[in-house]
Every structure is written in C-alpha cells, then in structure tokens.
C-alpha cells in the first residue's frame, strides 16, 4: 500500500485555518492498551466455575481459576516452560493448574512451579523462582472478580473501585459485553456532553422519554471531587430551536410529546452527575440509583464493558430493585440505550484529525485530567494518594 495523506488535512490546506492539534497528551495518546497500575473488573463471579477461563486484558492473556475454598486467582496465560496457554490445562488438585503440554504445575496463588510431573517428584526446577509464572493480585467482591494489572504492591481495592460496588449498603446488577472500539472512545463517549441529545434522541428509555431533555448546554467545566472528575454545567440550556438550513430541532414525535406531558406531572428529576474516575470508569448518579460503567481495555480495538446499576437498597427493596433491573433497565438502558453508543463509536475513526466545539470542553477536560493524574507506577504502600479536589478542567 502507498501512504495517502488524510483527505481532511488535504482539504484544510486549501486555504483553511490550521487544524487543531489533538488535545490528547502524550501519556494518554500512548495508553492504547490502558493504564497498568489499577484494579480492573475482569469477569463476573458466576462466569468462573471449575474450568479455567482465559480473559484478555490490557493486551495480555490472563487465566483465571478458582483455588482452595473457591478463591479466584489469575496467572499470565502462558506456561513458563514453552509458552503453552495454561487455560488449555486442568486443575489436578485444588490450588494448582497443570500445563497441558508437559505437566508443569503451578500454584495458582503465586505462580510458583510446584511440580514438573514428567520430570518426576524430585525435579530440580520445582520452586525455582525463574520458572514461575507471573501472577496477578485478585479480589472477589459482591459477584465481581477484580485483578490488579500493575507490577506489585497493589493498593487496597477501595482505592480504585467505586464505594457503592463494595459497600454492604448497596445492591447492584451487572451486565458485561464486548464493545468494538478502543477503551478511550468508550470513556470519552460516556463523558461527552453533547452526544446524548443526538444519539439518544429517539430513545424510549423511561427517564429520557418522560421528559424532554436539553438539546444543548453551554461550555462545560469539570471539577475534581475526591476520586472523581465531575461535570458542572454553566449557563444556558436549550430544548428546541429553529436552525438555519435545518429547521426546527429536535423534532419530537407525538408519542414523545405526549409522554413528556405525562412526565411533567411526576417528579423524577433528571440526571444529577456525570463523572469520570480513573482508570476507565463513568458514573452517573440519578435520584434512585447510580449507573457505573467500566470500559476495560482488551486490545487496541476492543474493550470489555461492565455496566452496573447500583441502588442503596437491602432486603425486599433490593430484590425488587434487581427484579426491575432484569425486567427493564438491563434491556432498555444497558443494552438498547447504551447500545446506541456502542454502535456509533464502533464506526468512529478514533485517530482521525479532530475539530472540537464548545461541548467538547467536557472531553478536553477529561483528557487533561487523565494526562495529569493517571498513575505511572504502583502507589506507595501505606501512603495515601494526594487529593486533587477542587482542581478545574479544562
């Protein structure tokens, strides 16, 4: 193939103003496979049984297994011996996994080589530190198995996972799906202040449909509040207008208008916050529940999306909340509504030249925040991470 200059750039050279440089800083630009020094959700507890499971994360293949007392562990999914995937092997005894090729057997808890079956019980390689397989810190909480992708000394899980996913005061339901786009397109879409009124304009998701949503807002400033970057909308909003060339927009259907009229009588307020948290978390707080979504990097073109609907419920109210999730939110919110995003960003040419506009102040803020604060190494054990609350972006 020959190199072809990007047609948009060629267009610009024809007497146009210079194209803006990307607002992605160098660290964020390089993080095609994500930032390593964080806890990430890997899979749901109910998806890991007796058989080893292979999961690709941040470009690496990991094998997850349950050891003694059902505790989950993760190893790099290649035998130290010859590079065979351990996930094709078997667990001959609790707490070990045996390679399918020559029977090298590893302790799933730390990756140590505990037996080399085909070299006999006296094999000299057993216990040698150089023969071990990389192991990854793993924690299982409330039905989700998390893995730490950094080098060592993982911080406590609480440092990286939203508190409502860990607290006994909350209940939640989760759906996991592969999105066919880079993880950065996934989080930028979630934090994007402008896409919703267009992409989701025809959605019949309850709280979107039952009241007319703003079609635009002003410049978006973001402010750090603890672990979160939160949007604060300034100034004016608009709901409908006459545009030159286009005419009236949005053009609501009669059904939509009728629903909105009904909706005016009720008091369900709209979204309260749109927040980002490192490494790849979008959180939206609503009156009755939170929506928490991770876009976990898989490879350069794929992310694994964990979407949780979390509410401060227990007992019978928790059961009702879960029932409502399975009967409604899972399908209408997580699969259909957010599926509209997935479908769009799967087609996005993420590395194309960009021309940003006012609502992209949200994304510019997000990018600058990530560039400034994404971890570059394991956190110092016992040293609390600094609190940047109050910083404003962009």
For a second copy, the binding residues in 140-199 under the rule CB under 8 A are 151-152, 192, 194-195, 197-199
* Residue 46: CB minimum distance to a second copy, A: 27
Residues 332-371 interacting with a second copy (rule: CB under 8 A):
344, 347-359
Q: For residues 23-42, which are near a second copy according to CB under 8 A?
A: 30, 32-33
Task: Give the integer Cα–Cα distance in Å for 131 and 82.
Answer: 11
Between CA 21 and CA 366 the distance in angstroms is: 16
Query: Which one of 25, 44, 45, 81 is in contact with a second copy (CB under 8 A)?
Result: 81
Element containing residue 241 per DSSP (H, E):
strand 241-243
Which residue's CB is nearer to a second copy, number 75 or number 210? 75
Whole-angstrom distance, CA of residue 276 vs CA of residue 354: 22
Helices (H), 226-277: 254-265
14 part of the interface to a second copy, by CB under 8 A: yes
Query: How many chain residues bind a second copy (CB under 8 A)?
Result: 96
- Tell me which stretch binds a second copy (CB under 8 A): 43-51, 102-110, 274-282, 305-313: 102-110
Q: Are 42 and 64 in contact (CB under 8 A)?
A: yes
CA distance 308 to 333: 11
Question: What track of x and - describes contact with a second copy for positions 275 through 314 (by CB under 8 A)?
Answer: -------------------------x--------------
Q: What single string gives the DSSP state of each residue in 4-27? A: ---HHHHHHHTTPPPPPPPS--HH
For a second copy, which residue of 43, 55, 80, 366 counts as binding (CB under 8 A)?
Answer: 80
With contact defined as beta carbons under 8 Å apart, do 229 and 369 qualify?
A: yes
Question: Min. distance of Cβ 286 from a second copy in angstroms?
Answer: 21
Tell me the CB-side half-sphere exposure of residue 69, using CA atoms within 13 A.
Answer: 3
When asked if residue 130 is in the footprint of a second copy (CB under 8 A), the reply is yes
DSSP 8-state code for residue 337: I
Structure tokens at 383: 């040293």
Q: Which is nearer to a second copy, 255 or 348 (CB)?
A: 348
Which residues sit opposite 63 in a β-bridge? 54, 75
CB-nearer residue toward a second copy: 126 or 260: 126
Query: Site mask, a second copy, residues 237-276, x = CB under 8 A?
Result: -x--xxxxxxx-xx--------------------------
- When asked if residue 54 is in the footprint of a second copy (CB under 8 A), the reply is no
Least CB distance to a second copy at residue 62 (A): 9
Task: Compute the least distance from the CB of residue 95 to a second copy, in Å.
Answer: 7
Paired tokens of 292: 């928490």
């Amino acid at each position: 193939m020959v190199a072809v200059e990007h047609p948009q750039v060629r267009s610009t050279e024809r007497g146009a103003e210079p194209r803006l440089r990307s607002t992605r800083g160098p660290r964020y630009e390089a993080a095609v496979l994500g930032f390593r020094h964080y806890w990430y959700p890997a899979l749901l507890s109910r998806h890991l049984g007796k058989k080893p499971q292979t999961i690709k994360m941040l470009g690496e293949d990991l094998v997850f297994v349950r050891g003694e007392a059902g505790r989950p562990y993760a190893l790099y999914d290649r035998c130290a011996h010859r590079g065979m995937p351990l996930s094709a092997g078997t667990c001959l005894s609790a707490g070990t996994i045996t390679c399918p090729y020559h029977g090298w057997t590893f302790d799933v808890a730390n990756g140590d080589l505990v037996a080399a079956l085909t070299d006999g019980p006296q094999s000299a390689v057993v216990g040698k530190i150089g023969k071990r397989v990389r192991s990854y810190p793993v924690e299982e909480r409330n039905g989700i198995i998390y893995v730490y992708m950094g080098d060592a000394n993982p911080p406590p899980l609480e440092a990286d996972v939203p508190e409502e996913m860990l607290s006994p005061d909350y209940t939640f339901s989760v759906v996991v799906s592969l999105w066919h786009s880079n993880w950065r397109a996934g989080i930028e879409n979630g934090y994007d202040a402008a896409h919703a009124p267009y992409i989701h304009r025809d959605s019949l998701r309850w709280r979107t449909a039952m009241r007319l949503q703003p079609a635009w807002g002003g410049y978006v400033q973001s402010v750090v509040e603890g672990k979160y970057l939160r949007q604060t909308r300034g100034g004016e909003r608009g709901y409908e207008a006459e545009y030159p060339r286009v005419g009236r927009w949005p053009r609501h259907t009669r059904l939509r208008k009728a629903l909105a009229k009904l909706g005016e009588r009720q008091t369900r307020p709209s979204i309260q916050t749109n927040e980002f948290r490192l490494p790849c978390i979008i959180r939206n707080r609503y009156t009755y529940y939170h929506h928490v979504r991770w876009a976990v990097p898989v490879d350069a073109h794929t992310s694994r999306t964990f979407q949780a609907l979390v509410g401060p419920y227990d007992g019978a109210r928790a059961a009702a909340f879960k029932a409502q999730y399975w009967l409604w939110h899972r399908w209408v919110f997580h699969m259909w509504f957010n599926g509209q995003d997935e479908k769009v960003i799967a087609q996005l040419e993420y590395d194309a030249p960009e021309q940003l506009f006012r609502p992209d102040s949200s994304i510019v803020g997000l990018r600058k925040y990530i560039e400034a604060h994404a971890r570059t190494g394991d956190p110092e054990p016992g040293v609390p991470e600094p609190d940047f609350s109050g910083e404003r972006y962009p």
